[in-house]
Amino acid sequence: MRDRLTAMGVKYGRLLLLVYLVLVVSATTAAAQGLDVLSQARALDRSDKRAEAIQLLRTRIETTPTDDDARELLGLYLSWTAQYDEARRLLQLVVDHRPNDGDALAGLMNVELWSGHPAAAKVLAERGVVLKRGDDRFTLGRERALRAMGAARSWTMSAAYTRDSFSDGRQPWRETQVSLKRYTDKATAIASAVRAERWGLTDTQYQVDLYPKFRPGSYAYLSVGVAPDKILFPHVRMGADLYQSLGGGFEVSAGVRRLQFSTTTTIYAGSLSKYAGNWLLTGRMYYVPDRTGQSSKSYHGSARRYFGADGTSYLGARYSRGFSREEVVSISDFEVLASDTFSLDADVTLGARLRLSAQGVSSRQERALNVSLRQTTLSGAIGFRF
């Protein structure tokens, strides 16, 4: 009896193993066929045969109703041919099954924009801003939706004040700034004026910053500043960075700064950032070759936690080794030979028009002439959107 039960167990075990292998092979074959269909559809679309690509994907979905990849691609192609109702249904199914699928969410947002439903598009865009931090498809989509609703506020007027105090009792530094920002689909432009008071001297710098967008995931930073009196600020300051998304939430940048004092100083910059859910982690380095006879490096690490209904408010912290300021802008910044700097900052949206920010910085510094001291910086800003 025991031998018979053992033989039956072995028989049924082999049968179960055979069924399992059949299911694995079938699933693998179906997945491979799905990838082949997607490749064929994309090739047809590139050859200006979108109708054939759409039909191929429809056939795939009829035979394999669970293929969300085919459903997503078909939804995108249908949206591009203004077949919005069917595209909406397909993309909504993908979003329901895969809530973190940024491509399907962006496609559904565009369907609502293009079909004249900006309020629905705004809801999807705000969801994408929070879900896919750093993906400018959703920030741009939100602005388009707001404009279509007549509620867009593309201008921001800001005023900021900064005070630096020192442990040796020297006279505090003060800095005031006013700026005007203009946001569009293609670029963000900022015009600003900064007035600094240090050592009983005053100076003013006028600056224009531009952030042009080339395509999703690629943009640049361009900056030109002029200080006519060239007392504290360089007579001319120029800067440029190129930013590129690498996928997976990673972004890199590389750039250069040129500061024209009595002699010109060149600073090279590079960064690596990672978006992880509601967090943005950034490492940045600045390199100044042959300054005062030797090269200088500055390292900065920061973390931001985003929150709020639109996902743009944040709390942040930064640690720096080298220059105490992340961006060197005046001649006094070069006095710092080495520093350990800690900072906390907050930037919060209040309602639809008001934005407030504040920062506190503590820096233990080694300065020129063997001077060691602590510098404490407090700053605040208010912005009004219109």
- List, for residues 191-214, the tens digit of each pLDDT value: 999 999 998 899 999 999 999 988
pLDDT for residue 293? 52
The answer regarding whether domain 2-148 maps to CATH 1.25.40.10 reads yes
Please tell me the least confidently modeled range out of 94-98, 101-105, 322-326.
322-326
In the chain, DSSP assigns E strands to 155-166, 173-183, 187-198, 201-215, 218-226, 236-247, 250-260, 264-276, 279-291, 294-307, 313-321, 336-350, 354-367, 371-385
**Whole-number percent of the chain with pLDDT over 90:** 61
Give yes or no for residue 31 having a pLDDT over 60: no
Q: Which of 18-22, 34-38, 323-327 has the lowest mean pLDDT?
A: 18-22
**Residue 35 banded pLDDT, cuts 50, 70, 90:** low
pLDDT digits (tens, 9 = 90+) for 214-233: 887 899 999 999 999 999 99
Q: List the domain boundaries for the chain.
A: 2-148, 155-385
**Mean pLDDT calculated for residue range 274-286:** 91
Confidence of residue 16 (pLDDT cuts 50, 70, 90): low
Which SS3 state, helix, strand or coil, does residue 168 take?
Answer: coil
- What is the overall mean pLDDT for the chain? 87
Q: Would you state the pLDDT for residue 231?
A: 92
Chain segment 298-338, per-residue pLDDT in tens: 999 999 998 887 778 999 999 999 876 778 777 777 666 67
User: Helices 68-80 and 50-63 sit at what angle, rounded to 10 degrees?
Assistant: 150
DSSP for 102-124, please give it.
HHHHHHHHHHHHHTT-HHHHHHH
Regarding the domain delimited by 155-385, which CATH topology (the fold level of the hierarchy) does it fall under? Answer: Porin (2.40.160)
Strand partners of residue 317: 303, 344
What pLDDT is attached to residue 281? 95
Q: Does 24 score more than 50 pLDDT?
A: no
68-80 vs 102-114: helix crossing angle, rounded to 10: 30
Lowest average pLDDT, out of 28-37, 55-64, 67-76, goes to: 28-37
Q: What is the CA radius of gyration of the chain?
A: 28
Residue identified by tokens 């404490």 is 376
Q: Determine the average pLDDT of the residues in 82-105.
A: 94
Residue with tokens 């299911």: 23
Which phi and psi (to 5°) does residue 235 adopt? -60, -40
pTM of the entire predicted model = 0.73
Exposed, middle or buried, 128 (CB in 10 Å: 0-12/13-18/19+)? buried
Q: Per DSSP, which regions of 4-141 are E strands?
A: none
How far is Cα of residue 368 from the mean position of the Cα atoms in its chain? 37
Residue 30: pLDDT band with limits 50, 70, 90: very low
Condensed to tens digits (0 to 9), the pLDDT of residues 245-259 reads 887 789 999 999 999
Beta-bridge partner residues of 267? 257
pLDDT band of residue 372 (cuts 50, 70, 90) is confident
